[in-house]
Structures are given as C-alpha cells and as structure tokens.
Chains A and B, each alone.
Chain A
C-alpha cells in the first residue's frame, strides 16, 4: 500500500502550489483559488492521518467536514468581496488594493 509519507508529500506539494498561486498571481480570484487549494491540502492531511491512524476515532473526518463547511463560507464571502471591490475599483489587481497601508 502507498506509504503515508507519499500522501503527505502530495499534500505538501498541493499546499505549496496553492501558496505560490496566492502569492504570485495578480488576480484576486486566483488568490482565492490558491487559498482553496491550501485548505484542500490541509483536509487531505486530516484524512490521510485518520486512515493511517486509529480509524475508530473519526475526529479527522469530522474535522474535514467542518473545514469544508468553513471553506464554503469563506469562498462565498471572499468572492462577494471580490465583486464588491471590482465594482468600486474596476480592477482585480491585488497590488492596487493598498488603501490600508501604513
């Protein structure tokens, strides 16, 4: 069977792709997509650890379920924000959003 470490490495790769996307793309929607990918990577970790640990205790699964719910909420609010910002600024460029700078 596939060792746990493979899952973990896969999850790490997915997380880093998400992270890199969130950090490097200019478009706000893609930043959100990157963040969703990072969340998925974390969820995958939970499931992998559950599968390779004590399967009777299903807290890993529960955690994932709640995480998915929160991710859905986050996506809804985040995309609503994107639309609102776009409406005001007519742009999606992340580096233009610097009103709150010190």
Chain B
C-alpha cells in the first residue's frame, strides 16, 4: 500500500517536474526571443536548452539528455555568446525596432502554424491511449546500434561535422584584403 502510494507519488512528482520544466523552458525561449540585450538572450536560451535537457532525463532518455547539455549548452549557447560579443551585438541601439517591420504577419502565420500542429494532436484520439511503460535506452545499446545498424550514418555525420567545421573556419576567417 505504502509502496503503491510511493509509486503514485513518484509518478505525480514526475508529472509535476515536467510541467515545471516546461514552463521554465518556454519562459526561457520567450525571453530569449523578446529581450533586447543579446547577451541576455543567449543566457536565456541556454536556460531553455537546459530545461529541454531535463525533460529528456525525465523521459528516461539519459544519453540524449546529457548530449543535449554538452552540445547545446556547452557548445551552441557558448558559440552564440561568442558571436554576440564578436559582432558587438551587446550594444543595444535605442530607438531601433528590435522586431522586423512585418511582425504582425509573422505572428498571424505563427498562430496558423500552431493551430495546424495542435489541431491534429488534439483531434487524434489514439494519442491519448498511448501509455508509457518503464523503459530506458541504455548507453550500451545505443553504442551497439551506433556501431552496428547506424555505422554508415555515423560516418557520414562525422564527415559532415568535419566539413562544417572547416567551412565555418573558412567563412569566418578574416580576409587578407580587408
């Protein structure tokens, strides 16, 4: 009885954790895209990424969650921060609109897109019936899959990353003529 209660509590706590994390993530995202100061934006988006990483953990996808923390918070967010600093994006120019001129149209399209995504979700009854078993994606299994079934995509990704890095360096490199 007590065990059942404990389990129910854990499940409920789990759910509550999701909602809290969801709120943090969305708030971070909204803040990231609405603040004027780009440094603040970068920090907020890092918070948002962290929220998503925790949701991955909450969904028992530990490997993905830690990968998310490493890649997004450790690399992408820092990269964004560096870019902001390199481009003097910190200097907030007063009197200059931070939204593009056609933002109302963008807002309308966004609303339409949300409706287009949400409507199928809400209108599909099968989705409600799906229940989550206790499951995990052990790192060992992921490793075996990466070296087995997915070895070719892994190689291609390796190539892609290499060329992307080289490309990024070449593009961002200071031209001698300038």
Contacts and interface: CB of A to CB of B under 8 A. Distances in A.
B106 A82 contact: no
A2 B79 contact: no
Contacts of A36: 45, 72, 76
A62 B67 CA distance: 12
A8 B32 contact: no
Q: Is the interface of A mostly helix, strand, loop or mixed?
A: helix
B11 to A, nearest CB: 5
Contacts of A1: 11, 14-15, 131-132
Nearest to B109: A23
Interface string B63-93: 1100110011001100110111011010000
Contacts of A92: 87, 89
A84 B15 CA distance: 45
Interface size class of B (residues with CB under 8 A): 35 or more
Interface string A21-65: 101111101101110110010011001101111010010011011
Nearest to A28: B87
Given A36-B72, A58-B142, A75-B76, A70 B157 contact: yes
B80 A47 contact: no
Interface in A65-79: 65-66, 68-77, 79
Given A29-B89, A33-B80, A16 B113 contact: yes
Given A21-B33, A36-B45, A6 B18 contact: yes
A82 B153 contact: no
A62 B109 CA distance: 32
A23 B4 CA distance: 48
A20 B132 contact: no
Interface string B152-178: 010001001100110111011011001
Given A25-B99, A30-B38, 5 more contacts: A17-B29, A20-B33, A24-B100, A66-B157, A71-B76
5 contacts: A6-B18, A23-B109, A25-B33, A62-B145, A72-B75
A-B interface, 7 closest residue pairs, ranked by CB to CB distance from nearest: A55-B135, A21-B33, A73-B164, A80-B168, A23-B106, A80-B172, A20-B110
